[in-house]
Amino acid sequence: MKQKVARYKMSIMGSDVFVKQYEFYLAEIESSLDKLLIKGSDNSEDPVLKAAHYSLMAGGKRIRPVLLMAAADMLSADKRIALKLACAIEMIHTYSLIHDDLPCMDDDDLRRGRPTCHIAFGEANAVLAGDALLNRAYEIIIDCIVCNNGSNELEAARIMAKSAGLSGMIAGQSIDLASEGKKISFEELVNLHEHKTGALIKAPLMAAAALSGASAEVRSSLETYAKSIGLAFQIQDDILDVTADQSKLGKTTGKDARDNKSTYVSLLGLEEARNKLAQADQQARSALSELAGMQLDTAFLTGMTDFLLSRNY
């Protein structure tokens, strides 16, 4: 399919070793995403495929697939399967963004520095593009199970499906919609984002653990890291929504306040939100120290933590 895609430009911050490894992961992910998406269609001129491709290949940080591949490397999981699962989780994430931006949801018109999918292709094609990405993701996941006939792949698939469903991301979106215009507590906000944002940050890490057959001890520390980094990521997002430049952020700033949505900043104030961010950061690093104590190489995940929490987009 010949389609020019203007990718959202981003810069990776960190040590030379971290940046080089991140760029290596990105290159593998970008190449595989493009091939796997196109392979799933019989018609390269299908407007739904073009809409899906527009959103999927728009760039971005690719945090979720990078986390999966990094954890898979750390735990010595099958790299070939890990890459496919990484692409699947990014397709699931992109489908959620397409639907989240729709007028009936968050009604946003800017994503990754350009018009959202429904603005560029119309609402009907955007809905179908999201549906197509979700189903293509599950097709890829099922292929991994069938081709390898392994219980580890099956467990990883279960983790990913549950994280995207009614007890994960969708639950969070439902809570978010029900909370619009309401004052909610800090605990309710944490619960909302543990589902809406945190579920798909935890999923790639725990899927990699399942794929590798990791011990219960490793999984426990990795889950603590995942929850902590998910919380920190969302708090940083809320801080950037009121402090960042829209051209750098790549999406509409100040929208949560205009829509009267509760955020960590609106509930706690900017200074206390930064304190909560620091606490979550410390919890994440403590979990990484536990993993390092199990003779695992946590250098990349440490660099990833630095990158995510010092980002300005």
217-260 pLDDT per residue, tens: 999 999 999 999 999 999 999 999 888 666 555 556 666 667 67
Q: 206 with 219: CB under 8 angstroms? A: yes
pLDDT band for position 6 (cuts 50, 70, 90): very low
Output the pLDDT for position 248.
56
The total number of structural domains that make up the chain? 1
**CATH code of the domain containing 233:** 1.10.600.10
**Cα dihedral 102, 128, 196, 288 in deg (nearest 10):** -130
Asked if the structure places residue 2 within a domain, the reply is no
Give the C-alpha separation, 61 to 11, whole Å.
Answer: 9
Q: What is the separation of C-alpha 6 from the centre of its chain, rounded to a whole number of angstroms?
A: 20
Report the candidate in 230, 242, 206, 241 with the shortest Cα–Cα distance to residue 283.
Answer: 230
Q: Is 154 exposed, middle or buried (0-12, 13-18, 19+ CB in 10 A)?
A: middle
Q: Kindly state the tokens that stand for 103.
A: 């007028």
Asked if the structure places residue 7 within a domain, the reply is no
Asked if the structure places residue 54 within a domain, the reply is yes
Asked if the structure places residue 38 within a domain, the reply is yes
Whole-structure pTM value: 0.91
Output the pLDDT for position 311.
79
Structural domain that includes position 20: 16-307
- What is residue 14's three-state secondary structure? coil
Asked if the structure places residue 6 within a domain, the reply is no
Output the pLDDT for position 180.
84
Asked if the structure places residue 11 within a domain, the reply is no
pLDDT band for position 162 (cuts 50, 70, 90): very high
Report the candidate in 88, 92, 70 with the shortest Cα–Cα distance to residue 153.
Answer: 88
Say which residues have a Cβ less than 8 Å from residue 96's Cβ, sequence separation at least 6. Answer: 130, 164, 169, 173, 200
Asked if the structure places residue 193 within a domain, the reply is yes
Output the pLDDT for position 296.
98
- What is residue 8's three-state secondary structure? strand
> Read out DSSP for 197-259?
TTHHHHHHHHHHHHHHT--HHHHHHHHHHHHHHHHHHHHHHHHHHHHS-HHHHSS-SSHHHHT
- Average pLDDT (263-285) is 95
Asked if the structure places residue 1 within a domain, the reply is no
pLDDT band for position 112 (cuts 50, 70, 90): confident
Q: How many CB atoms lie within 10 A of CB 186?
A: 13
Q: How many CB atoms lie within 10 A of CB 269?
A: 11
How far CA 19 is from CA of 16, 264, 295, 300, in Å, comes to: 5, 30, 23, 9
